[in-house]
Structure 1
């Protein structure tokens, strides 16, 4: 908003385009084509003075039909509860969303898949659309009947409503058994009690998923509790030195091979900062897994840090992860 003509320039001053005035109250807009998978720093100037600045990522992927609602495919049910009595992470509160596959009956034996940053990934109108993908793949018998437990990171109880979850980094990036204990001893028993779920006892029927810090968190759970979880889905995983996670490639190489199946996804535009280089870290994970003959797959894209690159790949990733479980 500015009554005087404005234009948009790159950070080095190169003109991107002149803005067009809409109406007579100063609202201006610029519409321009930009290449996919690019990052542009910009500022808006009026009479040579900056008015605002920022960075825009152009990142677009096409979904397949498996990420879209389909006619004649029954939909699973989403149930929600709030967990605020954690002993592992005291003084935290979080939302938990449970996906129950279409036709679910209490006591039915199913597979299990736990997701970090759950609310936004299970949202049928969000980017990941995990609940829609579950509906389609379960209907086509391309993944087993699975209950999804989508868990948000912990907010401190003193935080105002809607505030960013302040305990996320501690919960997700820390090594060790704490988060696995939180799942196995607190959240999953509550799901069983509330919805009369019954999870298959075989650890090959238990999967866990997450992106960024949620990705390393998922791997940590399987690494620490391979007796429970043996399938991991990780995208743009933070296997860097946020809380010591950069040691995993060395631990994998030096230790005994564990029966973990791991799907990795990362992109050449992922983060590079003082904590590490995310693309290199994920390549090091893949190299270590290959060295120890793990059952793993890594898909490489042009994605930036986030979930946009994983979202359209989710159906294929789930088919691969669950390929021998009926």
Structure 2
């Protein structure tokens, strides 16, 4: 049959396959190196108490602990029928309504290049204004008494079903106060040039102020709850950059938050745009800020995995090692006399789900140690 008598669609398909067969395929994207397994007894790491496999640290004890390799979910993290279940609802925030975060995005498939004058700075030219919507998920325990001031947790990268389920059990057993959870989804993307990176990795009071002025009033009005003004009754929580964000919130506004819980906290150099006051981003916490500042009234629970991230990336700045960053955090917190508990988890990756399910009940009990409601 003549080519001219074939249907047009067939001709196009034939031509397309001919061209594609003659064009070289693009090179595959370089895979991120697999992080090495770190030894918690490495010289320079903090001295820590080694726990037997499946053992957890005492919920009333400060210090450094090494968790064994088996991560069985704690029974409190699994749904139960014999305890009251909190009400979980959500609403949506639009970037057009925010005076703190009108929205940015980094173009897909792009990253940045090191500043030739300072490899600790990343130059990103593909970030631009972009709208977003975010979901805010709210957990209200059945034990909440309308009209009373409730303690609460701000959670990053929400919603957090494991946290909601765990609180059902812990609240029913009177192991933590009856608290509200506000799980706030990020504005999109990740790392430098993205909305999530701007929100979570920026070393400033901005994100805490966004939550205080644009999120909490909506939670109170929509769900007819009253959120405490007492910083002892306010906690922050997150994993990865959400973990660094949790500490950033409390660090810059300790009059609002006294309790911080982080998994695989990104205490590394990932801030963008660069800021001369904190040129190394969240790496500054253990490099300068905590050692050089008076002790703040914070209680901190933190975890890192033995296979947590090690990302030399294009910057080659030696400030992208998550394990070293968290080890350094434990060292400076101890030196300054903070109430903190640091867990080094064996057989665990970045924000490891198994570790979270094993440790979250104990972490929450440690975090809320000493809380007394004030009515504020």
Instruction: Give the TM-score normalised by structure 2.
Output: 0.65
Which of 262, 266, 269 matches 1:238? 266
- Structure 1 unaligned blocks of 5 or more: 1-52, 124-128, 157-164
Counterpart in the other structure of 2:114: none
Counterpart in the other structure of 1:310: 356
For 1:182-197, list aligned pairs within 5 A: 182-197=210-225
Which of 303, 325, 332 matches 1:288? 332
The structure whose Rg is larger is 2
- Structure 2 unaligned blocks of 5 or more: 1-29, 36-68, 103-130, 272-280, 313-318
Matched, 1:133 2:166: yes
Counterpart in the other structure of 1:110: 150
Structure 1 residue ranges, 4+ long, deviating more than 3 angstroms after superposition: 53-57, 103-106
| DSSP-derived class of the 1:262 partner | strand
Assess if the C-alpha contact under 8 Å between 2:264 and 2:308 holds in 1. yes
Matched, 1:82 2:70: no
Which of 73, 78, 89 matches 1:63? 73
Assess if the C-alpha contact under 8 Å between 1:142 and 1:323 holds in 2. no
- The farther-off stretch of 85-94 and 108-117 is 85-94
- Measured in 2, the distance between the counterparts of 1:259 and 1:198 equals 24
Assess if the C-alpha contact under 8 Å between 1:265 and 1:310 holds in 2. no
**Higher fraction of strand:** 1
Aligned residues: 259
Assess if the C-alpha contact under 8 Å between 1:211 and 1:307 holds in 2. no
Give the superposition deviation at 1:111. 0.5
Change (3 A) 1:96 1:60: farther
Q: Deviations over 1:101-128 (max 9, x none)?
A: 0143432321110100112x2x2xxxxx
Assess if the C-alpha contact under 8 Å between 2:144 and 2:179 holds in 1. no
Instruction: Give the TM-score normalised by structure 1.
Output: 0.75
Assess if the C-alpha contact under 8 Å between 1:268 and 1:304 holds in 2. yes
Counterpart in the other structure of 1:172: 200
- Measured in 2, the distance between the counterparts of 1:311 and 1:279 equals 20
Counterpart in the other structure of 1:320: 366
Q: Deviations over 1:151-185 (max 9, x none)?
A: 000149xxxxxxxx941111101110110111111
Structure possessing the higher relative contact order (Cα contacts under 8 Å, 6 or more residues apart): 2
